[in-house]
Amino acid sequence: MQYHTFTMLAFGLALSVASSAVRADEKVEYGQYLSGSCVTCHQLSGADNGIPAIVGWDKEAFVEVLNSYKTKERENKAMQVIAVGLSKEEMEALAAYFGSLKPKE
Ligand code: HEC
Domain chopping of the chain, boundaries: 24-100
Domain 24-100 top-level CATH class:
mainly alpha
Q: How far is the CA of 78 from the centre of ligand 1 (A)?
A: 8
Q: Is 97 in the pocket of ligand 1 (CB under 6 A)?
A: no
pTM to 2 decimal places: 0.84
For residue range 41-80, what is the model confidence (pLDDT) as tens digits?
999 999 998 999 999 999 999 999 999 999 999 999 999 9
* Ligand 1 closest atom vs CA 62: 29
Distance, CA of 69 to CA of 30 (rounded, Å): 21
For residue range 19-47, what is the model confidence (pLDDT) as tens digits?
555 688 899 999 999 999 999 999 999 99
